[in-house]
């Protein structure tokens, strides 16, 4: 079995919601704003809008990236897939589909911030959290790096 990327299907909402909710539950700085059912419903909406690419391995969704135009709205993986290159593949697919990308990463999410820097994103602004659902300080980043200058 190998890893492959594909457009998300409606039946992926459950697996995606589990990934999203597990991150919320397992991350000490992340506010507990949403239930597992709400996470699934949120993923269902993103799928219906056509924003989501999933990474599948051995018949299971192991990660996903949601992109609305140039904005990366979400990039989450199952814990076992972190550091395995799955996020790199999802990001490469997003870059291949858009000449410019931007996102907000929560400042406390140092691992994600490092990942985006390695992926060629550059910081362009810092915020107090008023622009994100978690109300936590964030960093706006853009790719390609030249777009930040």
pTM above the 0.85 mark? Answer: yes
| Phi, psi torsion values for 90, nearest 5 degrees | -60, -40
| Bridge partners, residue 49, by sequence | none
Instruction: Tell me the average pLDDT of the chain.
Output: 91
What's domain 1-84's superfamily in CATH?
Answer: Gcn5-related N-acetyltransferase (GNAT) (3.40.630.30)
pLDDT per residue as tens digits for the range 93-102: 999 999 999 9
Confidence of residue 81 (pLDDT cuts 50, 70, 90): confident
Taking alpha carbons only, the member of 76, 6, 4, 17 closest to residue 43 is 17
Phi-psi region of 41 (alpha: psi -120 to 50; beta: other; left: phi over 0): alpha
Q: Please, which residues have CB within 8 angstroms of residue 111's CB and are 6 or more apart in sequence?
A: 82
From CA 49, how far away is CA 87, in angstroms rounded? 21
| Bridge partners, residue 76, by sequence | 64
Domain boundaries, the chain: 1-84, 99-149
The yes-or-no verdict on residue 1 having pLDDT over 60 is no
Q: Helix H segments across 33-127?
A: 36-48, 86-97, 110-118
pLDDT at site 8: 98
From CA 65, how far away is CA 132, in angstroms rounded? 17
């Amino acid at each position: 079995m190998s890893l492959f990327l594909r457009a998300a299907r409606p039946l992926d909402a459950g697996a995606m919601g589990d990934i999203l909710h597990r991150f919320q539950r397992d991350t000490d700085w992340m506010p507990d704003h949403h239930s597992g059912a709400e996470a699934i419903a949120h993923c269902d909406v993103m799928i219906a809008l056509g924003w989501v690419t999933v990474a599948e391995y051995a018949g299971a969704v192991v990660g996903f990236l949601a992109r609305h135009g140039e904005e990366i709205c979400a990039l989450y993986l199952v814990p076992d897939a972190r550091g395995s290159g799955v996020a790199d593949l999802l990001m490469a697919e997003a870059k291949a589909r858009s000449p410019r990308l931007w996102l907000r990463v929560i400042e406390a999410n140092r691992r994600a911030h490092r990942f985006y820097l390695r992926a060629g994103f550059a910081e362009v602004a810092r915020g107090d959290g008023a622009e994100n659902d978690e109300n936590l300080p964030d960093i706006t980043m853009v790719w390609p790096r030249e777009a930040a200058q």
